[in-house]
A and B are shown apart, each in its own frame.
Chain A
Amino acid sequence: MAAQAPRDPRGGPPQDTVRSLLAELWRDKLQPSRPGSGRETLTGRIIHGALFLTATLSAFVTIGIVLVLIFETVEFFREVPFIDFFGSTKWSALFAEKQFGVWALVWGTGMIALIGLAVAIPLGLMAAVFLSEYSPPRVRAIIKPILEILAGVPTVVFGYFALVSVSPVIRDIFGEDVGIYNALSAGIVVGLMIVPIIASLSEDAMRAVPRSLREGAYALGSTRMEVSLRVVLPAAFSGVVASIILAASRAVGETMAVTIAGGGNPQFGVNPLEAVQTMTAMIVQLSLGDTPTTSIEFKVLFAVAMTLFVLTLAMNIVAQWVSQRFREEYE
């Protein structure tokens, strides 16, 4: 029997009683190792294959997104010339006379993202500096979870907040001419939404700066602010910039709050007190109506989504590149 061969290669009885007992217990129980069966058992190989498939699924998701977007986008550009889409700032997809100037939507998106960043960068960075450089551990243990709560609030709730709380305040300040739907209130809540991203990621980058650098600066007679702003912040610069880009990307892709509070008016104006429409809000607007899948409105949905996808993807890649390329290596 094949199993007996490896059991006792020397042929003679084992000297040690324990060993002989073990050998007795294992007699005929050891699985014969089949030559050429490979490193893994059959089950192992099946599981390996299944796990491999789950891992490749994420690649297929990306491919799926790209294919789906490209397919309908190509269809769209068959009917509408390229120049009408990228060469115009007028958007009126739902009217009889259709115009597809995507810049109106990109502008609306950019405006709200800029307002959001104007709110979030000072708040987020200051919060990060405080948490990483000033706050005692106990205070930090309280503030961080609260910021995480802020990050976990669904965006539709922020939309409600913008409409019911922020807009009335803006109307109180700027007068009744301001509409209840305006870019400013949407931008403010988007900013609030991305504060935790900037604060949390920047704080991580700042805490990664070695303590010895801080001590070096303190030993030269720096105050805490000088250490924070002139040593820690520059040393963590790549992480901070990456966090801001990621937050901007989130603001660009943000949908519900800007749909609810931004109004549905695609336009190319500079006044933040007027209603605007972002790319995401437009997609929601077109999705809500029962758009026939063969209509041009349905196809333009994907052309806009493609623009949005490329924009956010580029921002994410830049963020990754910044954090890799400009990271300081300590030891």
Chain B
Amino acid sequence: MSAAAPSAQLSAFAPRVRIRRGASVAFMVAALLAIAISMIMLGALIVEIAVDGAARLFTDGGAVDREARGGGIISDLPTPAGMGWMTWAVPVAILFPFVGPRLVNALVPGLPRLAERAMGFIVVAPAAIFVHILYVRFESAYFVEYAKAVGIDGASGNIFQVLGEASGFQIVRLLLAGILVPLAIFAAGWFWSHRMRKPSLIIPAIMIAGWVVYLFMDPWFLSSFPSRKPAEAGIFSAVTGTLYMMVITAAVAFPLGVGAAIYLEEYARRNWFSRMIQVNISNLAGVPSIIYGLLGLQVFVRVLEFERSVLAGACTMALLVMPIIIVSAQEALRTVPPSMREAAYAVGATRWQVIRFHVLPYAFGGMLTGNILAMSRAIGETAPLIAIGALTFIAFLADSPTDDFTVLPIQIFNWVARPQSGFHEIAASAIIVLMVILLLMNAAAIIMRQRTRTDW
């Protein structure tokens, strides 16, 4: 049979190419349709939220008595007791490791590095405290001034009216918060290293853009506390709570996650232990977030007695996002070519020196990107914070890490869960704010990823 001529069986074939071609095209159309459905749903989601929520962001609900609230636009900006410290603490914290030692080095050259750092701190810290005292004096003077001032009236309170009626102190304060802080961050990046010069523009640019948007919008929504009446309710405590918690979460999760990644990639032998840790991390990534909430409730709230505070929430969130940070940091470390490590070892560096001076600088961009993505996951998480008991009605600002707090998603959940449609609308407004923050973070991550890629 093997000798049968090829044509003998040809008649048994019925290739039906045209039909199969048609089926293939139909299949492609169906696949495109599947993508289109997903996109249309996403589009519907965005449009729905934008339509519901945009109005409230740019106008007040019509029910707010501005005179009675006794405030214009600026009074609703962070108060010295609440967020004021951030205005000086953030730039100082960023500046002091870079500027301080340089200053000392310029004045007294040739000191050991440790001494340079210590003295740098001594130089910068008093300066920072002095700036703070000045700032608080401005603030209190501003309040005295403001008490005499008349609140802004009119349908919309945007920047031009404010500037028209604002006192000198108000303008100083605007400048300080809106321009000096971004400028300080930019300067820190500029001095850090030449590679940071362009990227250091990004954060200040985003901040300034944020301020501008903030000032052009009706500030009532962003700067009011929750209320029983939808028209008067705002998300001030939620936004500040979210930002506060994010800062602490990042501060806890980033070192822990990166440390674990460094251990697993650079130190651990390939034995059962590191395999177990690795499997464990991927399993932790799949644990439902609400279970982390229960863990946080028992460990941080009850055993460690953090109470239902920012700190408890941030620690819970840190555990939740740690697997993400570890995995992305591991990926970043794996991109470092082995030849780079070998070169460093070959000149007699110890393992830690190799990691500190060669591996980490190379992988840092990728780690930071992973961190931002982890934070963007944390910022939208609601369930674990509900489990640890974050409150939804917070009519004050968290001033220390042990205060009660609320965050944006919880505020949104609280409003969505109410039957009145007025609350649904402001929930949509809050969702817009949340999504804008998310979008900015993702954009920052993408930009950072591209920058680090081109730099090396």
Contacts and interface: CB of A to CB of B under 8 A. Distances in A.
A–B: direct contact at CB < 8 Å? yes
A260 B416 contact: yes
Contacts of A157: 45, 49, 380, 412, 431, 434-435
Contact of A54 (B32, B38, B260, B350): B260
A19 interface: no
A125 B264 CA distance: 34
Contacts, number: 250
A78 B336 CA distance: 54
Contacts of B35: 123, 126-127, 130, 143
Interface string B286-304: 1111111111011100100
Contacts of B45: 153, 157-158, 161, 165
A160 interface: yes
A195 B383 contact: no
B440 to A, nearest CB: 12
B129 interface: no
Contacts of A165: 44-45, 48
Contact of B350 (A44, A64, A122, A249): A44
Interface residues of A, number: 89
Interface stretch (A88-96, A269-277, A311-319): A311-319
B20 A58 contact: no
Given A153-B380, A256-B382, A223 B20 contact: yes
B31 A127 contact: yes
Best-buried of A129, A249, A283 by chain B (most CB within 10 Å) = A283
Nearest to B255: A54
Interface in B257-289: 257, 259-260, 262-264, 267-268, 276-277, 279-284, 286-289
Nearest to A308: B288
Contacts of B267: 48, 51-52
B127 to A, nearest CB: 31
B37 interface: yes
Contacts of A147: 38
Interface residues of B, number: 86
Interface string B26-53: 0110111111011101101100110010
Best-buried of B34, B260, B264 by chain A (most CB within 10 Å) = B34
Interface in A171-193: 192
Interface in B34-90: 34-35, 37-39, 41-42, 44-45, 48-49, 52
B256 interface: yes
A158 B48 CA distance: 11
A167 B376 CA distance: 28
B398 to A, nearest CB: 20
A72 B297 CA distance: 12
A68 B293 CA distance: 11
Contacts of A161: 44-45, 48-49
Interface in A129-153: 129-130, 134, 143, 146-147, 149-150, 152-153
A159 interface: yes
B445 to A, nearest CB: 10
Nearest to A56: B277
Contacts of B268: 55
Nearest to A196: B38
A305 interface: yes
B442 interface: yes
Nearest to B427: A160
Interface of B: 15, 17, 20-21, 23-24, 27-28, 30-35, 37-39, 41-42, 44-45, 48-49, 52, 255-257, 259-260, 262-264, 267-268, 276-277, 279-284, 286-295, 297-299, 302, 319, 322-323, 326, 350-352, 376-377, 379-383, 386-387, 389, 409, 412-413, 416-417, 424, 427-428, 431, 434-435, 438, 442
Closest 9 CB pairs of A and B: A154-B380, A253-B288, A54-B259, A126-B34, A130-B31, A225-B24, A255-B383, A51-B263, A55-B263
Given A160-B412, A224-B24, A253-B289, 19 more contacts: A40-B350, A51-B267, A55-B259, A57-B256, A64-B295, A69-B291, A123-B38, A126-B33, A127-B38, A130-B32, A159-B413, A165-B45, A199-B38, A223-B23, A224-B28, A255-B383, A284-B386, A308-B288, A313-B286
22 contacts: A40-B352, A47-B352, A51-B259, A52-B263, A54-B256, A59-B277, A61-B322, A62-B283, A62-B284, A68-B294, A69-B291, A71-B298, A127-B34, A147-B38, A160-B428, A165-B45, A253-B288, A255-B289, A255-B290, A260-B413, A283-B387, A313-B287
Interface of A: 40-41, 43-44, 47-48, 50-59, 61-62, 64-65, 68-69, 71-72, 122-127, 129-130, 134, 143, 146-147, 149-150, 152-161, 163-165, 192, 195, 199, 221, 223-226, 228-229, 246, 249-250, 252-256, 259-260, 280, 283-284, 287-288, 290, 293, 301-302, 305, 308-309, 312-313, 315-317, 320
